[in-house]
Structure 1
Amino acid sequence: MKIALLNALTVCFLVLLLAIDDSAYARSVSNDDTIHKLEKGEEKKDFNFVSNSNLDVVKRDSLMEVQCDGLECAAEVAGVSGGVPSVWKRGLVTTQLNLTLLLQEHTQTASNVLKKFRGRTLGYVTPWNSRGYDMAKRFRTKFTYISPVWLQVREDPDHVPIITGTHDIDPQWVQDIKIGAEGDELEEEGPAVLPRVVYERNHISWEDGPLIISKLLTLTDEHDFDGIVFEIPVMEETVDMLQQMARAFRAADKLLILVLSRSSKDGEMPVTHELFNKLAPLVHCFSMNAYDVSIPGPNAPYSWLKKTLEKMSPMERQRILMGLPFYGYDNTEAITGSSYIESLKVNDVAKIRWDAAAHECQHTYTAETGSRHVVFYPCLQFLQDRLKLYKAYGVGVAIWELGQGLDFFYDLL
């Protein structure tokens, strides 16, 4: 009898506990909008941590920061664990550039090397900055065109036009750019290779045109070039030959890009609109200088670039690749990325400042001789502001030149 009574009391106690627990659970459900009852026929889904959570990851040892939300975070966290994140995630695209962070991070490039800038992108490569050859191969998928600066139009002792510089041509490198090097993880088709040809004679006659055109087309066929970038003063005296050249290149299924000098300080085009319109329907596009404006001082002031773009017609903008410098100036001396970094290391540089009017980074230092130096060299914010401006106006980009930049510049392209 006692045992039966004890068992009954135990059962009543357990029922009471369950009722209390159910009541507490019911209250928690009613106060949480994120929990709902399954409707009839609805399947219970597994809880997805990524899509239902926010995540901030900070790795202080490598000074990289990831801030993302939901499903977007899954890709970013995978990117951090599997390689180097972009300059955006590392907090390097800023007007308040940290000198120590710059020196630590400039050689680190994102593992993702796919093209980001949606417009057409041309990259120049020069023999005197041979590092550009490696950069072009490493980041070839980011470019529409690669232009090695190899060739010149000169003349022989009899004043007959000849093509020089062919000793610089590297056939294997050309193929590596176009189709990828052996073992290249990205097997996508690469950019078109169009060597730059600069006209170095101080005169031209009407009979020279056909001979020059013929020699250039023969050269492109022999070396599997996709065309050329041709630099010659664009003016009334040369327009006839350039029209002939454009038609001949088009007939041969080759690309012809013409080089234009920079605009005036008022933003006026270096050629008249009438002359531009004579050539635009025939050539592939134009590569336009957009730097060396105020030396010493800002290299490519933002307001000047914007003014230049505003004075172009929409049709003209569609045919333009605007210059983007990967070099800067120490007073009046041009400097590349390597010399810039060395200067920051050996000189007493207090701070890198942002010139809000020009949208350029600059710093000062005093040399051992006592002379004061002002340095303007591209920072990531400098590049990003111009890429954003070019995208807004529908122009492409022509980078001078790949061997002069810092490694992490390529994250933005």
Structure 2
Amino acid sequence: MMNYLRSLILLTVLLGMNRSTLAPKDKSSKKDKSHPSSSKKNSGSSNLSASADNSQGDKLAPEDLTFELMLGQNMTSIGVKGDVYEQTVLAYVTPWNNKGYDHAKYLGAKFDIISPVWYQLKRVNGQVEFAGLQDTDSSWMQEVRASNPAVKIVPRILFDGWKSADLNALFASEMTQTAVVHKITTFIQSHNFDGFVCEILLQVGFPFKNQAMHFLSHLGGLARKQNLMLVVPLPAPIREDGSPVNFFTVADFRKLRAMVDYFNVMTYDYSSGREPGPVSPASWITSCILYYTKDLPAVERSKFLLGMNFYGYKYYTNNHKVEAITGTSFLELLNKHNTKTKVQWDENAMEHVFQFGSSEKVYYPTLHSVKLRLQLAEKLNVGVAIWDLGQGLDHFLNLF
């Protein structure tokens, strides 16, 4: 417990460093957040609290969680109103976890931005083409908007399979870049979207970063003129050892801030090796966000979205194998092992760890860890981006 308290104190100190730049929250801001605003404030509590409600609504400390309580929490009905959480919420929806489609459709009021992961931009025989058109679902989009008329639907566009020669061909010519920029925005408008997520920086890496930045400035400039939202995903800026990656910097943010609505920082997959470890430690999340925001005013802090994983990892300690795990698979494990399940609270990472049998260890989100990260985003005056909506347990959504 002492380690847990020390972690809370550390986070509180980090957050308090820049508390004076936070601006008051306007409750009406939840209704329209098409662009970041400075009308949000912190919730008033100086400490983060990882306690959560159990199925009977009683407060439950994270170290008291058991498999029975976890199953009970998941039986809790989901409220459809979206007035619980005030920061910007983006939720990704993927075809391979299609439960997210229903959540977006029936619980649309909980989300400000929905991003269906449908499209890839490819270069084939010298021509730039869209792929993934078969996933477009206009009827679903109508149902989502019926649930929340203010929601912004912004599909992800992934630069997929671009080799160095393809990128050189794109970046070598202003005319070519202009043509691709127009192709993207025309496609978005013709399909009645409100904007798009452009995933290019993660694909090109260091060798083409500056050229990709130049391309994004063109793309964002045209998107602004056409009143289209632009979201740009970023890798986590801090390594596991605490050193900076120095890929996308604060200086880079300042170059693009006028053209980009939100920057989605991918604060997950912290433990990438074969040894068991947390997915997204709270102190590391804080370091990643403060790397960008510690000297920014509130209006610019709110352009950042804290990446929130709704998935976990299962480690096989007997052979060092690791695989991703979603809510459905996690519940199957709970039901299979029931009373043999050992539940621990990792006080340093602020995540739960589940031991199934002698050789399976799982790091997977819980109501406690999700609530704590939502509080953390609020303290930092940033939004959240869920990857992805179909991977989580249903009762997580009562926090939104």
Q: Which amino acid aligns with 1:286?
A: F
| 1:261 positional shift | 1.1
1:1-400 to 2 correspondences below 5 Å:
90-91=57-58, 94-95=61-62, 96-156=64-124, 158-180=125-147, 188-200=148-160, 201-202=162-163, 203-204=166-167, 205-206=170-171, 207=173, 208-233=176-201, 235-265=209-239, 266=242, 268=244, 270-295=247-272, 296-313=276-293, 314-315=296-297, 317-331=301-315, 332-347=322-337, 349-366=340-357, 372-400=359-387
1:37 — aligned with what?
Answer: none
1:36 — aligned with what?
Answer: none
Q: Which runs of 5+ in 1 are unaligned?
A: 1-85, 181-187
Aligned 8 A contact 1:318 1:395 in 2 = yes
SS in 2 for 1:310: helix
Equivalent-residue separation in structure 1 for 2:243 and 2:375 (angstroms):
19
Equivalent-residue separation in structure 2 for 1:394 and 1:89 (angstroms):
31
Q: Say how many residue pairs are matched.
A: 317
SS in 2 for 1:388: helix
Q: Which amino acid aligns with 2:234?
A: L
Residues 134-160 of structure 1 show CA distances to partners (whole Å, capped at 9, x for unaligned) of 01112110111000000011022x221
Percent identity between the two aligned chains = 32
- Larger Rg: 1 or 2? 1
Residues 167-226 of structure 1 show CA distances to partners (whole Å, capped at 9, x for unaligned) of 10000111111223xxxxxxx524100000011112322333222211211211221100
SS in 2 for 1:353: strand
Equivalent-residue separation in structure 2 for 1:267 and 1:311 (angstroms):
11
Task: Identify if the C-alpha distance between structure 1 residues 111 and 237 changes in structure 2 by more than 3 Å, giving closer, same or farther.
Answer: closer
Residues 51-110 of structure 1 show CA distances to partners (whole Å, capped at 9, x for unaligned) of xxxxxxxxxxxxxxxxxxxxxxxxxxxxxxxxxxx7686237530213112213304234
Task: Identify if the C-alpha distance between structure 1 residues 88 and 191 changes in structure 2 by more than 3 Å, giving closer, same or farther.
Answer: farther
Deviates more, 1:273-282 or 1:382-391: 273-282
Aligned 8 A contact 2:306 2:377 in 1 = yes
Equivalent-residue separation in structure 2 for 1:141 and 1:92 (angstroms):
26
Q: CA-atom RMSD, angstroms?
A: 2.0
Equivalent-residue separation in structure 2 for 1:199 and 1:311 (angstroms):
26
TM-score w.r.t. the length of structure 1 is 0.73
SS in 1 for 2:201: coil
Equivalent-residue separation in structure 2 for 1:92 and 1:362 (angstroms):
20
Residues 15-61 of structure 1 show CA distances to partners (whole Å, capped at 9, x for unaligned) of xxxxxxxxxxxxxxxxxxxxxxxxxxxxxxxxxxxxxxxxxxxxxxx
Task: Identify if the C-alpha distance between structure 1 residues 338 and 92 changes in structure 2 by more than 3 Å, giving closer, same or farther.
Answer: farther
TM-score w.r.t. the length of structure 2 is 0.75
Which structure has the higher relative contact order (CA within 8 Å, separation 6+)?
2
Q: Which runs of 5+ in 2 are unaligned?
A: 1-52, 203-208, 316-321
SS in 2 for 1:358: coil
| 1:112 positional shift | 5.0
Residues 262-318 of structure 1 show CA distances to partners (whole Å, capped at 9, x for unaligned) of 222227464122111101121111111010001431000111111222322324522
SS in 2 for 1:162: strand
| 1:344 positional shift | 1.1
